[in-house]
Amino acid sequence: MGRLKFHSRGTGGSVLLCLHGFLGEGSDWAEFADAFLVHAPEWQLALIDLPGHSEENLGWICPSADEFSQSLRDFVAAEGWGTAAIAGYSLGGRLGLQTALSFPEAFPVFIGVSTTAGIDDEAERARRVDSDSALASRLRSGGDFAGFLREWWHQPVFASPARLGDDLERFVTSRQRRDPVRMAACLETWSSGRMPSHWFTLPFYPGRTLMLSGEVDTKYTATAERMQAGFQNAEHMVVPGAGHQLLMEKPQEVARAMAAFLNQYK
């Protein structure tokens, strides 16, 4: 199993692991991190590059979700942190949730940003596997990767009045550094149709949870409400005027919300 690549921010004694979404990188959390540390300077953040997403060849293309969860547990232990809060956006939220549910003693706080507990309908799971496999085949074909990225950006789920006109080109420029073959492997391995559904295990998580969703992202706002109801101890905050891509659209607001949530329990 390969090693995790991460960027450290802050020097506090409490630790927050930050997991980005598909096609992203740890630095997607950078603007959030700067704002967060103003409100919560007693924390340090580990902005993690998901396997397969780093430009460096770390010998670890795309592990299973279980393997990745174990790697996060081992990472926290190796750094001598003992425990850590874990926050994840979209795909990172699904991976973070599985990790928190698997190792609640190490991850007593979970924060989900525009994410879900999975797909619990078997027919929908099968359809998602088929659609993700088709996208993976397209990525492996060696076609127009920039065109693929532009189409990805324009998916209805990402529509939001908070996105700026030049966000698209910044997105394409930064994401073109990804290896399409590795992205295909990640898309298939971490497909919502293949990863387990955690809807029925949420009540067993003993830790604290915060769910964040954008006001115009109605699908994931409904999902966050359902997740909040499933956990023992959870809060849900809707970010006004925002869509799905909260880290890009409203990093300051997300930082304030997370800091306020975590500072309740200092």
DSSP string, 163-222: --TTHHHHHHHHHTTS-HHHHHHHHHHT-TTTSPP-TTTGGG--SEEEEEEETT-HHHHH
Distance of alpha carbon 247 from its chain centroid, rounded? 10
- Residue 209 in any domain: the answer is yes
- Residue 148 in any domain: the answer is no
Q: Is the pLDDT of residue 57 over 70?
A: no
- Residue 9 in any domain: the answer is yes
3 state SS of 14: strand
- Residue 31's domain spans which residues? 5-120+196-263
Tokens 């869509």 appear where? 243
- Residue 61 in any domain: the answer is yes
- Residue 169 in any domain: the answer is no
Dump pLDDT digits (tens) for 88-119. 999 999 999 999 999 999 999 999 999 999 99
- Over range 18-39, report the average pLDDT: 96
CATH code at position 11 = 3.40.50.1820
- Residue 173 in any domain: the answer is no
Q: Is the pLDDT of residue 191 over 70?
A: yes
- Residue 69 in any domain: the answer is yes
Which pTM value belongs to this model? 0.95
Distance of alpha carbon 105 from its chain centroid, rounded? 20
Q: Is the pLDDT of residue 60 over 60?
A: no
- Residue 151 in any domain: the answer is no
Dump pLDDT digits (tens) for 141-168. 988 999 999 999 999 999 999 988 788 9
3 state SS of 7: strand
CB atoms within 10 A of CB 68: 23
The total of structural domains in the chain comes to 1
